[in-house]
Amino acid sequence: MISTTETSRKVLIVDPDATTRREVRAACVQDGYQVLEAENGAEALREVGSAHPSLVLLEVALPDGSGFDVCRELRKVDAAVPVIIP
Amino acid sequence: MMSSRSDEIDVVVALEIGADDYVTKPLRIRELVARMAAHLRRTRLESVEAARSRLEFRDLVIDVNERRIYKANKEVELTHTEFDLLTFLAGNAGKVLSREKILNTIWGYEYPIETRVIDVHIRNLRRKIETQPSRPYYILAVPGIGYRFTNARPT
C-alpha cells in the first residue's frame, strides 16, 4: 500500500548499468518512492551528502572502485542510512 | 545493486563494512522492493514509537529516542541495523532470542534469509560495544538457538 509517508521516501540507486537502474527505478516509482540515481561511487557519495536519501541500493562493482569502499565512505557521511548491497 | 558477485565472501564483507542487507543474484526486483519497504517501514515505526527512551547497563547506555549509543560515556556510531538489533536484544535483556525471532523482528522478511546475516551483525556489534569482543559481556551466544543480552544492570 502506498501511503503519503512513503512518497516522501527517497531511494538512491547506485549502479553503472543503465538498464538495471531503469528497471529498479520503475519498480520504486510504482511503489511511490522518489528515486535518485548515481552511476559511480563519487556520484553516490555526493548524492548522500546533498540529497540525504532514506535508503541506498549499492552495487558492488563500480567503475571508480569497489562498492565496499563506497559503503565505508558513505558511513562517514551518514552512519544510519540503510544500505542494501548484494 | 545486484552485482554478479554474490558469493559468500562478498556477503560477509558487505555486512561487515556496514551494509544493512544484501540481495543475491539473479535479482528479483519485487523481492528487492519488498526488502526496501521493510527497512523503510522499520525506520518510520521507530520514529513514532520508541517504547522506552533509555536503556542502561554497566558501561553501556542506549538512548532509544535519540538513536545514540554510549560506551563508557563515549558515543559509538552504529549502522541502522546494528542499532535496531542492539535495542531489540537489550530491550529483552536476559531472554533467549532465537535467530528466527530476531530475523522476523529486525528484518521483517517473509523471504528465506541466511542466519549468518545475524551472526555478522552480532560480530560487528561486539566489536563496537564489548570491551573484549572475543569474551563478550553483553551479547551472549546461546548455542543452537540464538542470542541473549546480559540481564546485569548497574547497581
Domain-located, residue B154: no
ipTM of the complex: 0.80
Q: Which domain holds residue B71?
A: 8-149
To the nearest whole Å, the CA of A68 is away from the closest chain B CA by: 6
Burial class (CB in 10 A: 0-12, 13-18, 19+), A18: exposed
Q: Which residue has the cell 569482543?
A: B133
CATH number at residue B42: 1.10.10.10
d(CA B124, CA B78): 9
Which residues in chain B have Cβ-Cβ distances shorter than 8 Å to A55? 36, 39-40
* B38 is a domain residue: yes
- A20 and B13: CB-CB below 8 Å? no
Structural domain tally of chain B? 1
Question: Which domains are seen in chain A, by residue range?
Answer: 4-84 (3.40.50.2300)
Q: Name B147's bridge partners.
A: B97, B141
Taking a C-beta distance cutoff of 8 angstroms, is the pair B118, B95 a contact? no
A51: left (phi over 0), alpha (psi -120 to 50) or beta: alpha
- The alpha-carbon gap from B155 to the nearest alpha carbon of chain A, in Å, equals 32
- In tens digits, chain B (155 residues) has pLDDT values of 344 444 666 777 888 788 888 887 777 888 888 888 888 877 655 544 545 588 899 999 999 888 899 999 999 999 988 999 999 999 899 999 998 888 888 877 655 566 778 888 999 999 999 999 999 999 999 998 999 999 776 54
Strands A65-66 and B139-142: unpaired
